[in-house]
Amino acid sequence: MKKICLFIICLFMFIPFVGAITTTTTKSTTTSSVITNKEANDEEIKENKECIEETCKNDSLECSNEENCENPSKSSDNSDEELLTDGKSAILIEASTGKILYQKNAHDRYAPASMTKIMSMILIMEEIEKGKLKWNESLVVSEYAASMGGSQIFLQPNEKMTVKDLFKAVSIGSANDATVVFAERIAGTEANFVKKMNAKAKELGLKDTNFKNAVGLDEANHYSSAYDMAYMAKELVKHEKIFEFTTIYEDYLRQNTDNKFWLVNTNKLIKTYDGADGLKTGYTSEAGYCLTATAKKNRMRLISTIMGASDSKKRNSNMATLLDYGFNSYEMQVEVKKGAVVSKKHISKAKNELLEVVPKEDLSILIKKGEEKSSLNYEMELNKIKLPIKKGEKIGILKLKDGKKVISTAQLTVKEDMEKASILELYKRSIKSILSGNM
């Protein structure tokens, strides 16, 4: 009898660890046609109804060679269609794919004026999203920052202003003094911040950009191109919080003080062009009138840059023409909707054992209006599953492919937070499995 009791005690100590190994994905050799736009609006992708090729990886999948990734610089050049009637160079791209819809002298190097602040805002948004900078944090203005000329909000040495108000000053009013306050807070000095700007440009693969200051004042060897500026904007709009600022036409700083300051957006297109929601203007005597604009209609976001226009009215008119061309000529074919369940996994150690995998954004392709819609295939790459996982955390990537060529990608996350199960929960599951005969 004692032996039997001892056996039962040992059995219950061993049970919770049986089958408690985290489930990882396996590779399937099947690919299938992607759900069409109409179907995507009607139903989610079902795990057993729509096959997905899956591969487990330790690290996130990134594009690493040209044969697997579309190279935007190799897209067709529509410069023979003379859309740009004023300005030295221009480009029009679709934001999610990076496909070039129009370009003229797009790689020529010119002074970018305050469009320089697109890169400054990228670095600011990265610091905020990392938690290193808080929206309600008050920053102290240095004498150097207060000395900035050009566009400014007339900050005074030792004045304090919140990150939120300073960012309004940069994104709405193109304030040089506010930009330098951020530069000093993030990197210690403007010079160190400029090094970070150039390093980020290199990281993004931009070859026609070199910054000498953080604000865009004319300076020897400070240059960029329409191509580079558009792709910087493509990076900036990934930080969706930016639109809460760039869509404001007017606002006030230093409310309820004697130094109340009226901010008016330098980008008039947000009032005059349907769907326009950013992004950054620029003007100096050397640069002329510049603008990087973005607008969104019917799930498609366009980004366009014009450099060296002769005046702001012609610049804005040309920009409207470029955006009209893009929206009238192209459309997005949505293959998999944001939030649609593309895979379900049983995770034995999770509190909720069913893990549902969803894309963080629409998986789409750009097509010319009137063309036959494409029938493509897709595959999914998942990292090893490590608990806990928060909703929004990247766990893999979904690739849309035309044969072997990757057309578009979307990051994958979980539909709901996945927490570890408690020891008690694991015991209960083990006992349930024994009683049901599944152990």
Q: Among this protein's residues, is 343 annotated catalytic?
A: no
Rounded distance between C-alpha atoms, residue 264 and residue 226, angstroms: 25
Q: Among this protein's residues, is 174 annotated catalytic?
A: yes
Where do the H-state alpha helices sit in 277-361?
312-329
Of 89, 96, 114, 120, which one is the catalytic site residue?
Answer: 114
Helix (H, G, I), strand (E, B) or coil at 300: strand
Where do the H-state alpha helices sit in 172-225?
176-187, 190-203
User: Are the beta carbons of 306 and 282 closer than 8 angstroms?
Assistant: no
Helices and strands in the chain: count of H runs, count of E runs: 12, 17
Rounded distance between C-alpha atoms, residue 213 and residue 148, angstroms: 11
Tokens of residue 131, six digits:
């938690």
Of 89, 171, 174, 225, which one is the catalytic site residue?
Answer: 174
Q: Please, what sign has the CA dihedral across residues 87, 88, 92, 93?
A: negative
Residue type at position 283 = Y
Catalogue the E-assigned strands of 14-159. 53-57, 89-94, 100-104, 138-140
Helix (H, G, I), strand (E, B) or coil at 290: strand
Torsion angles phi and psi, residue 53, rounded to 5: -75, 125
Q: Among this protein's residues, is 348 annotated catalytic?
A: no
Rounded distance between C-alpha atoms, residue 216 and residue 183, angstroms: 13
Identify the helix (H) or strand (E) that includes residue 278: strand 276-284
Rounded distance between C-alpha atoms, residue 251 and residue 168, angstroms: 8
Rounded distance between C-alpha atoms, residue 322 and residue 100, angstroms: 12
- Residue 219 burial (CB < 10 Å; 0-12/13-18/19+)? middle
| DSSP structure string for 386-426 | -S-B-TT---EEEEEEETTEEEEEEEEEESS-B-BPPHHHH
Q: CA torsion 222→232→242→111, rounded to 10°?
A: 30
- CA angle (157 as vertex; 156, 162 as ends), nearest 5: 70
Of 88, 99, 104, 117, which one is the catalytic site residue?
Answer: 117
Rounded distance between C-alpha atoms, residue 115 and residue 418, angstroms: 41
Rounded distance between C-alpha atoms, residue 294 and residue 306, angstroms: 12
Active site residues: 114, 117, 174
